[in-house]
Structure 1
Amino acid sequence: MDQRLSFVTLVVADLAATRRFYLDGLGWVPALEASGEVLMFRVGEHVVLSLWDEAEATQEIGPVTRGGTPPVTLAHNVATTAEVDEVLDDARRAGAPKVHDAVRRDWGGYSGYFADPDGFRWEVAYNPGEIGASVLP
């Protein structure tokens, strides 16, 4: 098996609210949209973020549990600390229910977090290291 990730799929409780947040709020453009079922965004050369309506998802994968902070984070890396603050401001304007201001981190970078309508946490980070630079376009 190749060492790669092709899709990240998040099961969402209210696809319409999720659509408003990502499209109207953050300005993202879907690569595929099946109304009431799924939204897909190309987030890398070979990576797709899929936002799957809970009712549709449970038919295929079974029951979904909710509550608390999901034990996963997604990251959006940028080239400067100023861009971190700009993206967090964009998330606030988009209606992110929780935004944690960016701070300098022990690992040498600068990052903050926002949550989407389902509570999935996005880290917005400037990572000055080699691995950080390797994920920038």
Structure 2
Amino acid sequence: MMTEEEIYAAADRAGKPGIRTGSFEIDRIRFDENGLVPCVVQDAQTGRVLTVAYMNRTSLEITLSRGVTCFWSRSRQELWLKGETSGHFQHIVSMEADCDADAILVRVKKDGPACHRGTDSCFDTDLHVEFAAE
């Protein structure tokens, strides 16, 4: 488990290529009862959804200040700097909250596959559901 200081140091090493957060106000974010907010991560170039992850206040602060995605791992109960192990960092291009400020859209430039399975996106499993057009 990495300490908060180690996460900050690793995020610094990853660099920050032009973060554009505009007037992003962290105090407006409505974290849930567990102190988390869902984040939809999208490839800034293609528009493809890469993953959905969660941030707590600390990981959001790291993301905003360092320009790379940092999440809160619900399963491991620790900060998770995306790319620290794999080298596949996600560099922030822009961030915005939804109308209720209880979800965040994060557009990124990625260094490699977004999914831990080595795929471009975590959303690559077809459920084979068909809907009839009405």
TM range (shorter): under 0.3
Q: Which has the higher helix share?
A: 1
TM-score (norm 1): 0.27
Relative contact order (C-alpha < 8 Å, sep 6+): which is higher? 2
TM-score (norm 2): 0.28
Q: Which has the higher strand share?
A: 1
